Amino acid sequence: MAVKIAASADIDADVQIGEGSQIWHLAQVRGGAVLGERCVVGRGAYIGSGVRAGSDCKIQNYALVYEPATLGDGVFIGPAVVLTNDQYPRAINPDGSIKSADDWHAVGVEIGTGASIGARAVCVAPVRIGAWATVAAGAVVTKDVPDFAIVAGVPARQRGWVGKAGRPLVDDGNGRWSCPVTATVYEAVDATLREVV
């Protein structure tokens, strides 16, 4: 499958793009970024230098993914999501001089396989979003999110659990949860959730 890149997209020469990926109008992908196979980068999205995205990721319109973010396979980044990279942002140093790249250390957001970040959510680095987790639209994530957790609000707090199908899980009691779509059963162990195999 061929890579499709809109004529108005701005792609640096040393970007690696997997087969079948699509990059739409006005998107910018900076040097050293790696996109896996079958990724979709929406209109006006920004992918920073050295960002790594697995295969089958969807990065929707006007999302800002700053380096050194890493996205597992199948990650969904909703419209206008921001993944930050500066823990203590300032434009100038205490002496009034303009900050340069040498005056700060970039920290990243790590997103696990299958996780979804809702529209206009902000993930404040450094933070890890667990595999298959869901961040609600408009949430501000300031702490790590466990695998399969649903978080919402400002600041984001856990509101429940979600399965691989993206639907909230049903509490079956005794620390067991089930997916209303797939009937998959999960169990809670020490504030984490795992699939019962």
In the numeric block, the tokens 């680095």 are attached to 125
Residue 101 confidence (pLDDT): 82
The per-residue pLDDT for range 145-196, each reduced to its tens digit, is 999 999 999 999 999 999 999 999 999 999 999 999 999 999 998 889 999 9
Domain limits, the chain? 4-162, 163-197
Angle (CA) 68 126 34, round 5°: 20
Tokens of 11: 């792609």
Spelled out in words, what is the top-level CATH class assigned to the domain 4-162? mainly beta
Q: Which residues of 97-128 are buried (b: 16+ CB within 10 A; e: fewer)?
A: eeeeeeeeebbbbbbbbbbbbbbbbbbbbebb
The per-residue pLDDT for range 99-147, each reduced to its tens digit, is 988 888 899 999 999 999 999 999 999 999 999 999 999 999 999 999 9
